[in-house]
Structure 1
Amino acid sequence: MSLLAEIMTAVASLLWPLVVVVVLIFLLPVFKRFLSQSDSIDVEVVGARISMQRASEELRKQINDLQDRVNELEATQNIGAADPPVVPDPSVPSNTVLWVDDHLENNLYERARLAEAGRRIVQADSTRSAMERLRDGGPYGVIVSDMSREENGRLNIYAGLDLLEQVRNAGSDTPIVFYSSPGGLSSVREELERADNVRYTASPSELMRFLNVHSDN
């Protein structure tokens, strides 16, 4: 009886995970249809019904406008002190952006706003792939990069500086904006201050100012 009891216990322990997997398999097409039909799903906002996609677009517009107002306020409070937008090489189309980040999903909003402003975005997830993009698909008007990346199987907290060094050694003066967390930037602030044609920020609104993106683009 003890052997039978052990077998029953083992089967029971496997049964619930199996049930969950089967349920997810059957529900996956439903989830896909839900995501594909989000434009047909309505939500009520102050008594009016609009689609979820329209609601998302309206919210994004409000955020864009708020960022513009923040930039304007910072400009009035720091006249002559704030770093100006980056200035691309006149011979390079200024609408081309090379975005380097090993977690591109963290910057969906920022890249969406750049796309709305007419910028063409090319993505790279490592220093190596970024240099390949520069060699094969460049030149670019500006490079946006994080500072810390997992590369070659290990975390490199100075991956951004490595990219800066390799870009300059390749003879390129392409402007680089480092967009990373305050902690990731604090330890390299002096190096970035000494570098030419470089900006750095942890602020989405300041990033847009550096890239000269605003609501009326």
Structure 2
Amino acid sequence: MNDATQLIRALTGIAWPVLAAWVVWKLFPEIRHILEKRSFSLKVGNNELTVQQFTDKVVETTAELQQQLAAQAGQGQAGQQPQPQGVIHRVLWVDDAPSNNAYEAGQLQAMGVQVVQAESTDEGLRALQGAQQPFDVVISDMGRSEPAGFDPDAGLRLIERIRETGSTTPVFIYGGTGAMARRDQVANAGGNGVTQSPTELFALLGQVGRFPRTAT
């Protein structure tokens, strides 16, 4: 009951920033370019925040919720698998549209994780091979535009090429419903999981290791 109460409080705590962010970002796309200048301020209660402060707070607060939900998922699976001992310091995220994952990447950064983004399979492999510090996790979309054209199997090809090097770095596919229907192919290629849910993504990451710090 204690855990449920804490989760409800966490959900309540993020309700206003998430709702406000959704309204601003989704319902008024024509003012996005103005907000991106980050020179405007917003009135929140009795306080005035810059757009930068507001968006940073939204990311930090929802990152904290992701942590709590991931922890809840881990507790629910306790006894089914060993608890992770390591820490996730660096994540390689391969996606031809990095802006699609900007929010999730921001959440990871709020928790002390360094996120390196690559836009193609080859760019991702070069990042892995040239890394002075190893990556703890690789996240990839499934289909993406490659230099030779769109490849609907790009995520699978990335997993296969990573495994060909002998690397055991966990690789997760983060995509849409099409990717979800290919769980078996992902597993057969050597992938560690596939999801379209940001909360489940963080739960999968939580199975690999802890985040360096608690989001504030």
Distance 1:76 1:123, change over 3 A: closer
Tell me the CA shift for residue 85 of structure 1. Answer: 8.1
Question: Match of 2:106?
Answer: 112
Query: Judging changes above 3 Å, is the alpha-carbon distance between structure 1 residues 155 and 208 closer, same or farther for their aligned structure 2 residues?
Result: same
Match of 2:126 in 1: 132
Match of 2:11 in 1: none
Instruction: Normalising by structure 1, report the TM-score.
Output: 0.68
Q: Per the alignment, do residues 69 and 87 of structure 1 end up closer, same or farther by CA in structure 2, a change over 3 Å counting? A: closer
Counterpart amino acid of 2:146? E
Residue 149 in structure 1 maps to residue 136 in structure 2: no
Structure number with the bigger relative contact order (C-alpha 8 A, sep ≥ 6) is 2
Letter in 2 for 1:216: T
Q: Which residue pairs with 2:157 in the alignment?
A: 162
* 8 Å CA contact retained: 1:144, 1:178: yes
Rounded Cα–Cα distance in structure 2 between residues aligned with 1:209 and 1:108: 18
| 1:73-128 deviation line (CA, Å, top 9, x unaligned) | 544555556x888787xxxx841221111111101011112222222222211111
Aligned to 1:26: none
- TM-score of the superposition, structure 2-length normalised? 0.68
1:142 Cα offset (Å): 1.3
The AA in structure 2 aligned to 1:119 is V
Q: Distance in 2 between matches of 1:86 and 1:195?
A: 23
User: Which blocks of at least 5 consecutive residues in structure 1 are unaligned?
Assistant: 1-30
What percentage of residue pairs aligned between the two structures are identical? 29
Correspondence for 2:171: 176
1:44 partner letter: K
Residue of structure 2 equivalent to 1:27: none
1:62 aligned residue? 61
- Given that 2:89 and 2:212 are in contact with CA atoms closer than 8 Å, whether structure 1 keeps it comes out as no
Structure with greater Cα Rg = 1
Q: CA 1:196–1:150 in structure 2 vs 1: closer, same or farther (change >3 Å)?
A: closer
- Pairs within 5 Å for 1:1-20: none
Number of positions where the alignment pairs a residue of Structure 1 with one of Structure 2: 179
Distance 2:54 2:172 in 1: 31
Deviates more, 1:119-128 or 1:68-77: 68-77
CA RMSD, aligned part only?
3.2
Quickly say closer, same or farther: Cα 1:216–1:181, change in 2 above 3 A: same
Contact 1:96–1:140 under 8 Å retained in 2? yes
Task: Report the CA distance shift for 1:190/1:87 in structure 2 as closer, same or farther (over 3 A).
Answer: farther
